[in-house]
Structure 1
Amino acid sequence: MGSSQSALNFGAGPAKLPREVLEEVQREFLSYQDSGMSLIEMSHRSKEYTKINNDSQSIIRELLNVPSNYKIIMMQGGGCGAFAAIAMNLLNRTGTADYAVTGTWSAKAAKEAAKYGEVNLVFPKANKPGSIPDQSTWKLNPNASYVYYCDNETVDGVEFPYIPETNGVPLVSDMSSSIMTKKLDISKFGVIFAGAQKNIGPSGVVVVIIREDLLGNPMKCCPSVFDFTHIAKENSVHNTPSTFSVYVMEKVLQWIKKNGGLEEMQNQALQKSSLLYNTMVQSQGFYSCPIDENCRSRMNVPFRVGFNGGDEKLEELFLVEAEKLKMYQLKGHRSVGGIRASLYNAVSLADVQLLVKFMNEFQKQHGSK
């Protein structure tokens, strides 16, 4: 029990959840509300789950200040399922959509959408990795069904420092790794979606926030499990949902509310990420971040270890030494290599301070030029 408490989880997703939430889930697991049954054994149409379902939507609306003309729905299929669902629900409007590709996940989303209609890339594919082109250079189509972007690229460590302007075209954002970490003006968006497995819960559920006027026109090929209009009408229980995932998510959202809400999550995200980026600056090149300073993620911090842009053998040693100190899931995504520290809401400032302490000690031992 003691060793699991001291583990520092910097995983990109599924990611660390608040320990007090896990302990509460553990206490309730065998007998939910003294029913003698686990929540995972109960019907999704039971009064117990109906309350969890409704409470989840209510607290999302409260924390994000979601206007009354937006529906909050929950679906399965992960972010990749949502890539297809967005296209099948919205592309029917004009048959074409604009995609801002800034990294791995927006590229996958654009590829998926191209199966259902015309996709216009608003800036060239040759965009420099780790950057976001100035919006004045974007080539937006005024006839687009929507403009799509990924608010925070989990693999690439790129985060939008602003909400793009679309001149009235509905804006769609993948916020899987940034939702509930900052305040947002929801009215600027047509759709926001987020896989829960980073900041707000375990894997298995995707939250979709959609403006009501965008409902009602899915493609004929859209299956009912991805039909936002159908899911909204059925209050997210059109089929058996991922009841356990929604149950845990609701507890995580309550934890966010209890711990200062989005304002405090935003403050902590800035503190944690600034500490890590400043440590790299102070390392005088031993640690380096390849991302443009104006769009560095507060959530997923990729970096290289070793002078001249990184040394793979040194990075392997870094990971081995980190795991000896129970610092886990620091290996960079397989497509980019290096190191990646994810700093989601449940990762504390104290966790990051311990990581920084290790980084400084590792540099002392291995940082001579």
Structure 2
Amino acid sequence: MHVPDGFINAPVSVAAGVAAVGAVAVSLRGARRELDERTAPLAGLVAAFIFAVQMLNFPVAAGTSGHLLGGALAAMLVGPYTGVLCVSVVLLMQGILFADGGLTALGVNITVMGVVTVVVAYAIFRGLLAVLPRTRATVTAAAFTGALVSVPASAAAFTLLYAVGGTTEVPVGKVLTAMVGVHVLIGLGEAAITAATVGAVLAVRPDLVHGARGLAAPLKLRVDGELVDAPAAPAPAAAGPARSTRKLWATGLVTALVLAGFVSFYASASPDGLEKVAADKGVDAKVKEDEEKPEGEREYEHATADSPLADYGVKNVDNERLSGGLAGVIGVGSTVAVGTGIFWVARNRRAAAAAEQPSAGAERAAV
């Protein structure tokens, strides 16, 4: 559901950009509490995995496909603040390297595909876990539900922006009905991918699933016919260093590379939900008119349309399979590198702030 340039007018796009910048700034601060030496590299991997899976469009209806948005998955695995950053990194890389999603619409895309999906999915996820028994099965089910609802919520958010700043005069009711309808179907795919991924990580490293932290129910003992909390286990002071994440990281990276470099060739070529609705309802009328203008006079031509990787292919590589596969591999590598760098900076700032606090306390004590 990458919104291109030309669907939303300039004032609303600017407003959405300001909102997106604010959300990213808040998320950078919040991510410091979610990231540590183990989760910082994993967050970069999550961003790369989302990039790879977004290349795998799946059919949802006649002539329509869908793909993962990723906000729900990122929020469950690495936390809501870090999740917003993961999706933002993916959208930035797609816009700059692959001309996917308008650059003037980048704020719209971050708001709709990143912020809305994360907030809605994580709120539903935490709400369900507050009332359900705390087990791995319920964590997976809550992740499924949150992901499912987040996609039509994102579609509704786009419709709201279109109602305020759409460049065409299509009745908003028709756009809303079509967008939410098709994205409910896409949401089923999103939910299945999210639940399967969360469940797989829970099975091998539940300690690395942010949404599952602190969910273990206290052990109960029956004393004189009544259930009471068992004594707390002693802290594992001698348990040694924390378990390494290298094996999981390597497995995840290889999986992302295979999905983007090989499996993506078999993805559906049908237009995604937004593209289909835009074409059927006339939302893209201004963009189509602009495409008919002579080159150099087009208002909505993508700024990176001449990128060597535009449209997920490597320029001058004639073999379609090889071209797309190389582009996918480059995209995964670039996303994991940029994402990991950003998350390490956020993590190091947290460590620096923590180091300053004892020093400040010592100074006050000395005074």
More strand by share: 1
Structure having greater relative contact order (Cα 8 Å, sep ≥ 6)? 2
TM-score (norm 2): 0.25
More helix by share: 2
Larger radius of gyration: 2
